[in-house]
Structure formats: structure tokens, C-alpha cells
């Protein structure tokens, strides 16, 4: 089986990590050969070089890049590709162009990881219903429903949950990185989120929740672990709330495995979310979770069993949940125990095997 993964993103976020997990797991399978087509100078390009993965890096100009589409068709022909796995919206565009203009006949699988509504116009209908797209694999049932609202319920639609490395938090660590690095008082509770500083992650609600908790006298430091376009606006908002000394923006960290278990509470405040792999990581790391009910999050956790769940944007409710967790140690221990068991369901091995079954079924069904 010959698989071509197409990823056009320049940065590295959750979707790119899922591609990496998928490639790594499929490499263990017999008779599965993989190539990657990505944007030149992208993080995926660097990843492929580092991991010695056979890949093609092309300059990405815009979303309707005919050269990229032509090269996609050429790679499919040269390497007798059985399945093209499209991992983002631009890759989807390029595959449709390759089929329509350059007569590429290779079957395509499309991954849909975001829960933004699909534009309800002729082109969106056209490209999602295009004959070259054999399956649309959503990362949650929530996304599957969103896609179905635009293109209708179809046999093309299915879902496969994102995966994580459930073994990465097994090694016990006690290095106190966060408190040492950021000079946090030893007696402070650590409440944090791991997410890009992006609009849909709604860190403004995170800050509002921190403000409420601090006004009630909680001895805590709040950590916003990530980087992104909202940094300036969030910095200003923290200053407006007069809590600059108790909220730390750590920037991007590549040591999440070490620092995530140091948190006492994982406070996840997204207003839209495809699935929420950071929440799965928190389950696996044994961290107590308070989260919103955005997107596919409620497919990961259950209220009072593996997390405490609030409505999107409801900082008052989130603050109440944090207080409850900190006071009720028995509830905290029970949810952590249940969470570790739940995380195993999302093992990357399961995700890769389910994708492989999709590939096989599409190859067999002409």
C-alpha cells in the first residue's frame, strides 16, 4: 500500500502532531509505504528531514496553486500512490485541482480537525462532494455533524479520534520546572492551560476565571502555556484586570511532558474545539481538569467522572468548579484515576489502525 500524506501548514500545531503520530505508527506496518508532500521551509518539512522521511517540499504560494497540484499528480503517478491523505483545507483544494485540471485519478481521504462551520457556497459543496474524495475523516462526532450540515449526511463521513502517546507521562518526574523557572512561591497552586494564544482558545475567559479566583483569595499562579497572534491583546487584558503578577505567559514550550504533570488544575477554556488533545494529555498526565463544553471535548471527558465541565465562556461556573476541585480531594483523586483509564482509549496506535482500515476499504471499493 502506497500512501501520500499532504500537509501544507507552515507551523506545527495539533494537526501536524497527529500526522507525525500517524506516520510513525504506520511505519511499523508491513507493506505500507509512505511519502509526504509539504510546504517548503515548513515545520513539517523540518520534521521529515529530522526523521529521514521521504518527502517533497514545494513552495506554497496561495490556496489555488496549480504547480503544487501538478506536482501532486506527478508524485501519484511516479510512485503508484494508492491513497492521498489530505490533512488540511489547502491540501484539499490542491487535490481537487489535481483531479479536475490534471486528471489525477488517485483516491483521496480528507481529515477534518477544526470545528469551524464550512462555508455554505457552491465551491464548498463542490469540493467536499468531489468524486476524488472517498472519505472525510473527522476527529470527533461534533465535527462530523458540522460537516453534515453543509454537505448532508453521506457515507463519505466518518470519525476517528485523535491519538496521543499514552506512555509519555509514565516516567515519574519531580523537577519543579515551572516554579523554579518563573520564581513562583512554593505554596502556590498551579492552574494552567496548554494551547496556542489564538482567538478560539478563548484565553480571555481563562483570565476572567483567574480574576474571580484571585479575588476570592486563592493562593495560585495561572500559567498560559503557548504562543500565538493574541499575545498583545491578552497581555493588555491581564493588565486591565490588575493580575499581572499572578498570570504568567510562558510562551511556546517544548517540554510539555515535564511541565504538564506539575499543574494542580488544567483549566481549558476554548469556545470552539475539534476534539481537544491537550485535554487527553492532561488525563494521561494525571492532572485534574476543569473545561468548557466546546466542540468534541464532551466526547473525551464526562462531568464529575473525568472532569468538571462548564458552559463556553462562563467564567463564574469555571471558577466554582476549580474551587470545588481544590476543596474535594476525594473527587479530585477519583477523577484523576478515571482519567488515566479513559486516556488509554485515545492511544495513537488505535488512531493509526483505524486510518489504515479506512485506506484498505477505499482501495478495495472502486
pLDDT digits (tens, 9 = 90+) for 293-314: 999 999 999 999 999 999 999 9
Q: Would the pLDDT of 14 be above 90?
A: no
- How many beta carbons lie within 10 A of that of residue 249, not counting itself? 17
pLDDT digits (tens, 9 = 90+) for 121-141: 888 889 999 999 999 999 999
Q: In what order do the strands lie in the sheet with 2-7?
A: 55-58, 33-39, 2-7, 83-86, 107-112, 133-138, 157-159
Q: Which of 218, 124, 109, 94 is nearest to 158 (CA)?
A: 109
The Cα–Cα gap between 309 and 288 comes to: 12
Q: What is the mean pLDDT of residues 203-211?
A: 98
pLDDT of res. 143: 93
Return the CATH superfamily for domain 2-163+347-364: Glycogen Phosphorylase B; (3.40.50.2000)
Instruction: Answer whether 20's CB lies under 8 Å from 7's CB.
Output: no
Q: How high is the mean pLDDT of the chain? A: 94
Q: In what order do the strands lie in the sheet with 220-225?
A: 247-251, 220-225, 189-194, 265-268, 288-292, 308-310
∠ Cα 245 246 251 (to 5°): 90
Q: What is the mean pLDDT of residues 21-43?
A: 95
Domain ranges of the chain: 2-163+347-364, 177-345
For domain 177-345, give its CATH number from 3.40.50.300, 3.40.50.2000, 3.30.70.600, 3.30.590.10: 3.40.50.2000
pLDDT of res. 321: 98
pLDDT of res. 299: 96
pLDDT of res. 174: 66
The residue ranges of DSSP E strands in 196-335, in sequence order, are 220-225, 247-251, 265-268, 288-292, 308-310
pLDDT of res. 47: 97
Q: Which of 56, 2, 45, 57 is nearest to 20 (CA)?
A: 45
pLDDT of res. 172: 67
Q: Would the pLDDT of 68 be above 70?
A: yes
Cell of 123: 465551491
Name 112's bridge partners. Answer: 138
pLDDT of res. 363: 93
Residue 293 backbone dihedrals phi, psi, to 5 degrees: -100, 30
pTM as predicted: 0.89
Q: What is the mean pLDDT of residues 53-76?
A: 90
pLDDT digits (tens, 9 = 90+) for 86-106: 999 999 999 999 999 999 999
pLDDT digits (tens, 9 = 90+) for 318-332: 999 999 999 999 999
Q: Would the pLDDT of 201 be above 90?
A: yes
pLDDT of res. 21: 96
Cell of 245: 503578577
Place of cell 491540501: 91
pLDDT of res. 152: 82
- How many beta carbons lie within 10 A of that of residue 50, not counting itself? 8
Amino acid at each position: 500500500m502506497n500512501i501520500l500524506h499532504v500537509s501544507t501548514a507552515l507551523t506545527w500545531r495539533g494537526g501536524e502532531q497527529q500526522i507525525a503520530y500517524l506516520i510513525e505508527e504506520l511505519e511499523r506496518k508491513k507493506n505500507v509505504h509512505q511519502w509526504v508532500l509539504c510546504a517548503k521551509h515548513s515545520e513539517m518539512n523540518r520534521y521529515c528531514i529530522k526523521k529521514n522521511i521521504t518527502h517533497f517540499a514545494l513552495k506554497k504560494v496561495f490556496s489555488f496553486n496549480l504547480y503544487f497540484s501538478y506536482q501532486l499528480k506527478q508524485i501519484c503517478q511516479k510512485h503508484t500512490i494508492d491513497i492521498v491523505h489530505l490533512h488540511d483545507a489547502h491540501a484539499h483544494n490542491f487535490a481537487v485541482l489535481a483531479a479536475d485540471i490534471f486528471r489525477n485519478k488517485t483516491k483521496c481521504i480528507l481529515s477534518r480537525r477544526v470545528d469551524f462551520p464550512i462555508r455554505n457556497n457552491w465551491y464548498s459543496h463542490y469540493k467536499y462532494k468531489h468524486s476524488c474524495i472517498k472519505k472525510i475523516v473527522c476527529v470527533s462526532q461534533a465535527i462530523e455533524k458540522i460537516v453534515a450540515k453543509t454537505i448532508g449526511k453521506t457515507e463519505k463521513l466518518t470519525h476517528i479520534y485523535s491519538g496521543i502517546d499514552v506512555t509519555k507521562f509514565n516516567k515519574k518526574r519531580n523537577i519543579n520546572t515551572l516554579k523554579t523557572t518563573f520564581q513562583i512561591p512554593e505554596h502556590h497552586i498551579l492552574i494552567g492551560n496548554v494551547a496556542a494564544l489564538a482567538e478560539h482558545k478563548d484565553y480571555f475567559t481563562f483570565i476572567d476565571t483567574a480574576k474571580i479566583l484571585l479575588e476570592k483569595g486563592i493562593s495560585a499562579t495561572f500559567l498560559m502555556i503557548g504562543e500565538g497572534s493574541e499575545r498583545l491583546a491578552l497581555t493588555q487584558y491581564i493588565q486591565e484586570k490588575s493580575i499581572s503578577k499572578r498570570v504568567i505567559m510562558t510562551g511556546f514550550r517544548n517540554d510539555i511532558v515535564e511541565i504538564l504533570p506539575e499543574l494542580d488544575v488544567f483549566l481549558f477554556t476554548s469556545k470552539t474545539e475539534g476534539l481537544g488533545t491537550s485535554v487527553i494529555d492532561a488525563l494521561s498526565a494525571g492532572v485534574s481538569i476543569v473545561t468548557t463544553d466546546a466542540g468534541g471535548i464532551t466526547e473525551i471527558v464526562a462531568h464529575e467522572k473525568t472532569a468538571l465541565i462548564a458552559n463556553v465562556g462562563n467564567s463564574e461556573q469555571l471558577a466554582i468548579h476549580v474551587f470545588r476541585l481544590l476543596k474535594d480531594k476525594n473527587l479530585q483523586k477519583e477523577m484523576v484515576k478515571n482519567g488515566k483509564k479513559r486516556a488509554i482509549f485515545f492511544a495513537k496506535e488505535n488512531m493509526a489502525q483505524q486510518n489504515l482500515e479506512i485506506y484498505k476499504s477505499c482501495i478495495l471499493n472502486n
